[in-house]
Amino acid sequence: MYNLSNEIKKISEKNPNEPEFLNAVKEVLDSVAPVLEDSKYEKESIIERITEPDRQIAFRVSWIDDSGKIRVNRGYRVQFNNALGPYKGGLRFHPSVNMSIIKFLAFEQIFKNALTGLPLGGGKGGSDFDPKGKSDAEIMRFCQSFMTELSKYIGADKDVPAGDIGVGEREIGYMFGQYKRLRDTYEGALTGKSVVYGGSLIRKQATGYGLVYFTQNVLNHHGDDISGKKVCVSGAGNVAIHAAEKAQQLGCKVLTLSDSKGWIYDSEGIDLKVVKDIKEVMRKDLSLYKESRPNAEYHSGKFKWTIPCEVALPCATQNEVDAESVQNLINNGCKIICEGANMPLTAEALKIVLNADILYAPGKASNAGGVAVSGLEMSQNSMRLKWSSEEVDEKLKGIMKGIFDNISEAAAEYGEPNNYLMGANICGFKRVAEAIMKQGAV
Ligand code: NDP
Ligand code: 2IT
């Protein structure tokens, strides 16, 4: 049987200077400790195999800015595990991107993708390129250069990237165009494409909508309903906007959003038309919100979750919610935190939440709607057909319900029925481990 602290020590020594990755590994291994009591996992070296990526690729991306100067960034793709299907996971363009962050995201993605029940392995990629303040032409030249190298490693049956922070429909379009030109093949090697040329309806909305469907499932299970709830959301990107949109459609009042510069509080409920115009059309910051909604508040700096709410949906980035913030939520009577972002709670904040009287769902379960609809986009591309919005939305609802049912069953089986972190990690881990064990010494 495994000695877990020994294993964690070995992994830490093998991956120095990778705090985000090590944090993600520790969280999963801590949760699955009761499963690992079965000695078959140790016999089959599952921890060693599941924590070592199949391969991690880093490459130079040279591109020419509008002044004619050659600029250099670093690109990454971590192909972590393909026991269940082709590597699948987003690309992040943000100056903070490094190998530790990409490895942590790829590691989380393995279990998230397993939870969807679709045939998807786990991977993630990106670059330290900062899309902010760049012209469309600069974004295009960067994406083309990035894909010139990435195209050597991906393919519809091999590795299928999508969007993440800083990568949306525009960037996917430029990368898809370049991939097609290099390969001379029209295949679904990327998801999150525009619906104009092979994207799935509802993909853009899927992570945010799925998050709210998931939250509704948890609340229903506890004899409650999302309708009429006060909701705080952080972030103002793809996930945050569509989470807020679905919450409003289901009768919630959404009070806050945030971005990297500051946050807004609108006691009458956020006007998403104004937000979409600022963030998606003008690509500016939320300080402009007050120009259209003078009664709203704008605060520069970090959002500390000080506005009382019943539902909290962190949808910006990792480690955005610290101990003080979760304490604010708990003190103000928040009932549930469901993660739209990947690992938005710091390890310290998570510890507080797990010991408090508040429901909590980890991102690998609650934000899996995005990659699930990416899986459906892959199916539609392979079949050369297109499902209606209603069809995709129904499938998304079914997948989110399936994830909740499975993880709550796993949590109950291991004696902690409300511990959805444990349920998600156990359920995802067991699926991947079973698949690895059936495929021999790979
Ligand atoms: P976007 O780039 O569309 O939006 C990100 C938002 O978060 C922006 O409002 C951005 O602010 C803010 N933000 C990013 N980094 C920071 C930071 N360091 N500090 C403060 N604010 C920050 O990304 P997505 O909405 O796609 O992704 C949000 C989260 O959801 C990420 O954790 C991502 O991994 C996760 N996720 C995304 C999925 C998807 O399908 N897109 C699927 C599942 C999870 P600003 O506008 O100022 O840049
Ligand atoms: O974190 C995620 O799940 C994503 N960024 C979406 C991945 C995908 O392949 O759709």
The CA 43 to ligand 2 mean position distance, Å, reads: 32
Ligand 1 contacts CB of residue 341 (under 6 A)? yes
Angle at 381 between CA 172 and CA 249, to 5 degrees: 70
Helix/strand/coil (H, E, C) string of the chain? Answer: CCCHHHHHHHHHHHCCCCHHHHHHHHHHHHHCCCHHHCCHHHHCCHHHHHCCCCEEEEEEEEEECCCCCEEEEEEEEEEEECCCCCEEEEEEECCCCCHHHHHHHHHHHHHHHHHHCCCCCEEEEEECCCCCCCCHHHHHHHHHHHHHHHCCCCECCCEEEECECCECHHHHHHHHHHHHHHHCCCCCCCCCCCHHHCCCCCHHHHHHHHHHHHHHHHHHHCCCCCCCCEEEEECCCHHHHHHHHHHHHCCCEEEEEECCCEEEECCCCCCHHHHHHHHHHCCCCHHHHHHHCCCCEEEECCCCCCCCCCEEEECCCCCCECHHHHHHHHHCCCCEEECCCCCCECHHHHHHHHCCCCEEECHHHHCCHHHHHHHHHHHHHHHCCCCCHHHHHHHHHHHHHHHHHHHHHHHHHCCCCCCHHHHHHHHHHHHHHHHHHHCCCC
- Strand 253-258 with 262-265, pairing: antiparallel
Indicate the residue type of 243: A
- CA pair distance 393, 205, nearest whole angstrom: 10
Looking up tokens 């509080």 gives: 265
pLDDT at residue 159 in the model:
99
Ligand 1 contacts CB of residue 237 (under 6 A)? yes
For the CA of 191, the nearest ligand: 2
pLDDT at residue 33 in the model:
97
pLDDT at residue 260 in the model:
98
Ligand 1 contacts CB of residue 164 (under 6 A)? yes
pLDDT at residue 439 in the model:
98
- CA pair distance 11, 141, nearest whole angstrom: 38
Residue 172 CB-half CA count within 13 A: 27
- CA pair distance 215, 404, nearest whole angstrom: 9
The CA 3 to ligand 2 mean position distance, Å, reads: 33
Tell me, rounded to whole angstroms, the distance of Cα 118 from its chain centroid.
16
pLDDT at residue 157 in the model:
98
- CA pair distance 206, 208, nearest whole angstrom: 6
pLDDT at residue 395 in the model:
98
230 given a catalytic annotation? no
- CA pair distance 394, 422, nearest whole angstrom: 27
| Per-residue confidence in pLDDT tens, the chain, 442 aa | 999 999 999 999 999 999 999 999 999 999 999 999 999 999 999 999 999 999 999 999 999 999 999 999 999 999 999 999 999 999 999 999 999 999 999 999 999 999 999 999 999 999 999 999 999 999 999 999 999 999 999 999 999 999 999 999 999 999 999 999 999 999 999 999 999 999 999 999 999 999 999 999 999 999 999 999 999 999 999 999 999 999 999 999 999 999 999 999 999 999 999 999 999 999 999 999 999 999 999 999 999 999 999 999 999 999 999 999 999 999 999 999 999 999 999 999 999 999 999 999 999 999 999 999 999 999 999 999 999 999 999 999 999 999 999 999 999 999 999 999 999 999 999 999 999 999 999 9
Ligand 1 contacts CB of residue 238 (under 6 A)? yes
For the CA of 159, the nearest ligand: 2
Q: Which residues pair with 73 in a beta bridge?
A: 61
Residue 190 Cα distances to 18, 88, 170, 194, 333, angstroms: 28, 9, 13, 11, 42
Ligand 1 contacts CB of residue 367 (under 6 A)? yes
Residue 155 CB-half CA count within 13 A: 8
Atom index in ligand 2 nearest the CA of residue 160 equals 9
Residue 441 CB-half CA count within 13 A: 1
The CA 201 to ligand 1 mean position distance, Å, reads: 21
Angle at 153 between CA 148 and CA 159, to 5 degrees: 120
The catalytically annotated residue of 88, 103, 112, 124 is 124
Q: Rounded to two decimals, what is the model's pTM?
A: 0.98
Looking up tokens 């379960």 gives: 365
Token readout for 36 is: 């690992």
The CA 377 to ligand 2 mean position distance, Å, reads: 12
pLDDT at residue 302 in the model:
98
- Strand 336-338 with 262-265, pairing: unpaired
pLDDT at residue 255 in the model:
99
Ligand 1 contacts CB of residue 316 (under 6 A)? yes
- CA pair distance 47, 107, nearest whole angstrom: 12
Sheet order of strands, 70-81 included: 55-64, 70-81, 122-127, 87-93, 159-162
pLDDT at residue 263 in the model:
98
